[in-house]
A and B are shown apart, each in its own frame.
Chain A
Amino acid sequence: MKLKNLFLIAPFVLASSQVFAEDLWDDWDEEEQTQTKSFPFTGFIENTNSYRTQDNPVLDEDWVANEIRARLEYQQQLETFKLSLKGDVYYDGILNEFETENRETLISFTPHSAVDINIGRQVLTWGTGDLVFLNDFFPKNWVAFFSGYDMQYLKAPSDAIKISTYTDAINIDVVWSPEFDPDQYITGEKLSFYSPMADAIVAAPPKFSGEEPEHKLSNGEVALRLYKTIDGVEYAMYGYRGFYKTPMAYDNVNSVFYFPRLDSIGASVRATAFNGIANAEVAHWDSRESDSGANPFVPLSQTRLLLGYERELVANLTTSYQYYVEHLHDYDTLVNPQVDEYRQILTTRWTFLAKQNRWQYSAFLFYSPSDKDYDLIANVLYRYSDQWQFNVGANVLGGEENYTQFGQMEENANVYARAKFNF
């Protein structure tokens, strides 16, 4: 019974709650400002337990996630730069091993009044989509996303240099990752997936992996964003030169999957409209090795389009809708295509807050009318106190076919619970 992990750590949590349960309301006047404190260590302890709700024919393990994690964060604002560290230690109760994860090791400084530079390991995000990514090529953790983890773990850190320049005419972000940072994709260890080779749902062993691009400077990734807000309307243009973030291509000669070359350009706009927020985003994904569809072992180039709208319906109830479409270029080159030329997804998110935001009910639904598959993420958050938070939820996945994005995940559907103690 893997839940014993929780009991192992419980005494520590209780002890630390004694240490940290100071009344934050006292002694404010005498206290130093948080950002200038000399040793501001903070963090949390959180367990994530996700139980598979269906029999999985290729995975014996009933748990999708079963772990306890401790986070330590440290920030130091010095005269000329800021240092920020975030690290996790966790026990993975499925693989039965301790692991560490460096989430952030970052030095930030402002060499010129109009330039900010961030060097090191950092989480990066841009673009206007809600759980839909067109121009954001920063690494994502899809295992965490489907397994009931806190949503912050959807974003995996990059090892990068980010240079932000601000001018009256335009703002420019350039992110350079000297080494390719892939997504944390589904390997079959905890989640099963569709294998086009086997034309079936498979799982580890063998663990699925792709061969990463050779570590050399010319295989680094460059991401660019130009943006400006005019009268409350946010305009942005994006560029990316790098690789598909998951091993989408097959090397016929060496019989390995790999990350094929990808270039992309795109644009977005976001503004208030109809008592809410409207956004639109486009991207053109140029699959460099596709050769207009002549190479059948790499993905086809795509044009992606997203339209979104969000508004607060009544006090504390917010809804949003997105329409997303991927157009496959050179569709005619496909032999017996399984997918539509236009893959469409509709999403809706509903969030309701109650009792001084102690209760947060949310539901996010992906539904693809072209793939005929779906993913529902339902979550209830209870903020017992500023220290203790509890989440329960479900990832309901499925579809008509076993080869679509969510359809292949049907036997990974799960219910999950998390308890978090902040210190």
Chain B
Amino acid sequence: MRKFITHTILSSSLAFLAMQSHAQEPSVDEIVKKANHVAFYQGDDGRAENRMKFVDASGRTQMRQFTILRKDVGKEDGDQLFYVLFERPTDVNGTAFLVKKHIGKDDDRWLYLPSLDLVKRISAGDKRTSFVGSDFFYEDVSGRALSEDKHTLVETTATHYVIDNIPNDPSSVEFKHFKVWINKETFLPEKTEYYKQGEKLYRTIEALKHEVIDGYVTVTEMKVSNLETGGYTISQMRFIKYDTGTPESVFSERSLRTPPQQWISRPQP
């Protein structure tokens, strides 16, 4: 309780200082809302080619290359649809993944295994499990609902807002809290640090590169490091296009079995 009070006093005094120095400083809610939008909701839809290299502590690597389609269907940065088609390595070529992300209830997830022609439904129980073996979690790819954490502005630097996030349900996650550095100009979350009990930093996510694409500032290279295992994953995005007009019907069992060539194909420059 005392901690909470200190926290509140600290953050409100910081907010007060911030207000004095910069009359138009946004509130914490506005910052996290904007950052969430920039990270996961730009445009009505989008497509990208993505590849991940995961490296373990001994330096051995695996890679996954896939095309990802996204469409927003909810009101105000809510529900979303994702379709992922794997190309590499060759043993996963044609494997497809469909996610209907819901805010406030479990996501719906399906996996298609082409060698068996099998559409498998997968339980969405834990969103903080590895995405296809990488150091990314499902939640890092599709976003974490803002309502799951209490957000506090702990610091405002010359370039960044530093937000601390404490989970409302600590038993649902593996971390105690996480801090996000949000760029004041672009509202891009550029660094995230996850802490366990005892303020032990154990996991970081960094945006290594970004570009402006179709008018939206977009991360094109990210790195997740697991400081406990010594492993890390680098993710690169290419051939990104926003507002392609991908219809909702693309996010269906049909696309799992028959990839939607028109929307998967690389945009012509």
A binding-site residues for B, Cβ under 8 Å = 24-25, 28-29, 33-36, 42-44, 73, 77, 82, 108, 110, 116, 122-126, 151-152, 154-155, 164, 166, 171, 227, 229, 232, 234, 270, 272, 275-277, 279, 310-312, 314-316, 318, 353, 355-358, 383, 385-387, 389, 420, 422-423
Contacts and interface: CB of A to CB of B under 8 A. Distances in A.
Given A24-B88, A34-B87, A154 B121 contact: no
Contacts of A29: 238
A276 B115 contact: no
A311 B106 CA distance: 12
B125 A311 contact: yes
Would you call the interface of chain A mostly helix, strand, loop, or mixed? Answer: strand
A166 B254 contact: yes
A207 to B, nearest CB: 28
A29 B221 CA distance: 14
Contacts of A277: 121-123
Contact of A357 (B67, B115, B116, B130): B130
A155 B122 contact: no
B116 A353 contact: no
B125 A164 contact: no
B142 interface: no
A317 B84 CA distance: 23
B115 A123 contact: yes
Contacts of B125: 275-276, 311-312
Interface centre among B124, B132, B252, by most chain A C-beta atoms within 10 angstroms, is B124
Interface string B190-215: 00000000000000000000000000
A122 B106 CA distance: 34
6 contacts: A35-B264, A42-B90, A123-B116, A229-B252, A318-B123, A355-B56
Contacts of B252: 166, 229
Contact of A24 (B60, B89, B132, B133): B89
A314 B87 contact: no
B265 interface: yes
Contacts of B126: 312, 314-315
A152 B115 contact: yes
B132 A357 contact: yes
A390 B116 CA distance: 20
Nearest to B266: A33
A122 B257 CA distance: 12
Contact of B261 (A24, A77, A356): A77
Contacts of A423: 90
Given A166-B252, A277-B121, A385-B62, 18 more contacts: A24-B63, A28-B238, A33-B266, A34-B65, A36-B265, A42-B90, A77-B261, A82-B261, A122-B117, A164-B258, A171-B253, A272-B108, A312-B125, A312-B126, A356-B133, A356-B134, A358-B133, A385-B60
Interface residues on B, range: 35 or more
Interface stretch (B46-54, B149-157, B161-169): B46-54
Contacts of A316: 129-130
B132 to A, nearest CB: 7
Nearest to A423: B90
B117 A28 contact: no
B100 interface: yes
B123 A272 contact: yes
A-B pairs with the 9 shortest C-beta distances?
A: A357-B133, A386-B89, A152-B115, A312-B125, A42-B90, A34-B87, A125-B117, A276-B123, A422-B91
A154 B238 CA distance: 38
A231 to B, nearest CB: 9
B129 A312 contact: yes
A93 to B, nearest CB: 23
B211 to A, nearest CB: 13
B227 interface: no
Contacts of A151: 116
A275 B90 CA distance: 33
A423 to B, nearest CB: 7
B87 A356 contact: no
A356 B100 contact: no
Which of A34, A44, A276 counts the most chain B CB atoms within 10 A? A34
Contacts of B100: 232
Contacts of A420: 91
B236 interface: yes
